[in-house]
Amino acid sequence: MGLRHYLFGLQKISSKQILKKDRILESCVQFYQNYVEKQMDYKIENYKPDYKIEILTVWEKSVLETHHFLSQKDFSEIKEMLNNFDFNTLNVFCLIQNCKVIGFIALQDLKIEMLFLDPEFIGKGLGKVMLNYATSNLHANFVDVNEQNINATNFYEKFGFETYERTEKDDLGKNYPLLRMKLKNKSDENNVS
Task: Provide the angle, in degrees to the nearest 10, between the axes of the packed helices 150-159 and 126-137.
Answer: 50
CB 152 within 8 A of CB 146: yes
Q: What is the pLDDT of residue 15?
A: 59
Question: What CATH number belongs to 43-190?
Answer: 3.40.630.30
Q: What is the pLDDT of residue 74?
A: 95
Q: For the whole model, what pTM was predicted?
A: 0.75
Supply the Cα-derived Rg of the chain in whole angstroms: 21
If the chain, 193 residues long, is cut into consecutive pieces of 10 residues, what is the mean pLDDT of each piece? 50 60 66 52 95 98 95 96 97 96 97 97 94 96 96 96 96 94 69 38
Torsion sign (Cα): 2, 158, 152, 117: negative
Specify the amino acid at residue 169: K
**What is the rounded CA–CA span in Å between residue 35 and residue 40?**
9
Closest residue by Cα to residue 89 from 142, 47, 127: 47
Q: Are strands 43-46 and 91-97 parallel, antiparallel or unpaired?
A: antiparallel
